[in-house]
Amino acid sequence: MPRPGERRNRVRAAAAGRIEYLRRAARGPGSERDDLVLGAKSVVAAMAAWVIARYLLPPTVSTFAPFTALVALQATVYRSVRDCVQYLLAMAVGAALAASLAATAGIHGWTFGLLTLIALCVGRIERFGQQGTQVAIVGFFAFSSGQGRMDYIGHLAASVALGALCGLTAHLVLAPARHVHHRQQAVADLYTAMSRRLDDLAEIFEGNDPDTQRIRHWRRDSRKLAAECERIRTSIDSEIENSRLHPRRAVDSAEAALPRARDAVTVAERAMDHLRSLTRTVDYALESGEIENLPASFRTASSTLLRRAATAMQEIGQTSPTDSRHLDGLIADAGAELDRVERQERAAADATPAVHTLQGTVLTDIGRLLAELRSGHET
């Protein structure tokens, strides 16, 4: 059992978290504000559906109106319409099953069991999506409360249609916000972080005093960065879905920006593997002291290659359209420089085997990173 002091601390922490959540929602557009707006729309739509249904329909079916309003209010208009259609299909099938069994076999315990079995089997059909269980739920109401009567089923259908109308109307009056620029900015921030790491690695090759703890933190932080990629990809997919059936159409450039941003995340994930390997190589070279044995010309060339790769990353990840010629030139120059350094490294006869190995590993990591950027740009 937690102590009273611990419980108070938890309550305070939870309250502080909710206050900060509200502050973020008030500060500017984002997921917090979207959640609050969706909650407000859900309350208004459910209340309106319940009041109208109580005024027009029997009390036995009025609850279905606010429930359907909540089903019709999802995060995006597309998802709302999809779930609404699936729920209407499930309602129609469940009501039809209840009416058929009640008319042919009567209201009995074994017929209720048969209804349950059939409804559960039918609800597994993929077309119903997440609303498959509603086949059985609506069937139960139509069978038990409505006794399978057609007048009850008609009122039930009217209540569901009323709720769907209230929910979709709320979306049309106050459509979900568009966040195309925010998704682009998240990708740009991701590339900026990766570019900054390349610049820091370049400084190490230039002979600046390295922060070894920071490099090891990067290695530990790689999973967090990979999770950030997945989070950004999910948010972009949600925004692409949000653009479907949206009452406020975006400009053509914004529509094209989302698939481009998703492709950029894919490139970042692949490039991150090579960046992680390069960071691991530099960490080993610092810890073993082998980096001091690298020729000055090789360290200068490696630094130049890393800075060019960092500039190419900035070009790919920027929110504005990429200058294709400029990016092609950057990657081509970096590739030519890489070939020159590789030839020079193979021709060097005075280097020790350990230095040759370290040079080969560094060049391999940089080469793979450049190849990934080139492939991603072409895609």
Structure tokens at 194: 């990766």
State the pLDDT confidence band at 263, using cuts at 50, 70 and 90.
Answer: confident
The dihedral over CA atoms of 21, 24, 29, 34, expressed in degrees to the nearest 10, equals 10
pLDDT averaged over every residue in the chain: 81
Neighbours of 124 (CB within 10 A): 10
Q: What is the pTM of this model?
A: 0.74
Residue, of 347 and 358, whose pLDDT is higher: 358
How big is the chain, counted in residues?
379
State the pLDDT confidence band at 27, using cuts at 50, 70 and 90.
Answer: low
State the pLDDT confidence band at 30, using cuts at 50, 70 and 90.
Answer: low
Check pLDDT > 60 for residue 21: no
Exposure of 329 in the CB half-sphere (CA atoms within 13 A): 5
Q: Where are the beta strands (DSSP E) in the chain?
A: none
Q: What is the pLDDT of residue 44?
A: 92
Q: What is the pLDDT of residue 28?
A: 53
Q: What is the pLDDT of residue 66?
A: 92
Check pLDDT > 80 for residue 256: no
Using one digit for the tens of pLDDT, what is the confidence trace for 164-213? 999 989 888 887 877 788 888 888 888 888 888 888 888 888 776 666 66
Separation of alpha carbons 148 and 156, rounded Å: 11
Q: What is the pLDDT of residue 375?
A: 80
DSSP string, 171-194: HHHSPPPP-HHHHHHHHHHHHHHH
Q: What is the pLDDT of residue 251?
A: 55
Q: What is the pLDDT of residue 200?
A: 83
State the pLDDT confidence band at 51, using cuts at 50, 70 and 90.
Answer: very high
Structure tokens at 164: 């769907």
Check pLDDT > 80 for residue 358: yes
Q: Of 167, 194, 218, 183, which Cα lies nearest the Cα of 53?
A: 167
Contact 307, 196 (CB under 8 A): no
Q: What is the pLDDT of residue 20?
A: 55
Structure tokens at 327: 């990016």
Check pLDDT > 60 for residue 79: yes
**Segment 43-70 mean pLDDT:** 90
**Segment 255-266 mean pLDDT:** 82
Contacts of 334 (CB under 8 A, 6+ apart): 305, 308, 309, 312, 370
Q: Where are the beta strands (DSSP E) in 223-359?
A: none
**Segment 325-329 mean pLDDT:** 80
Sequence letter at residue 277: S
Residues 171, 173, 178: CA angle, nearest 5 degrees: 60
**Segment 39-46 mean pLDDT:** 90
Structure tokens at 376: 């991603």
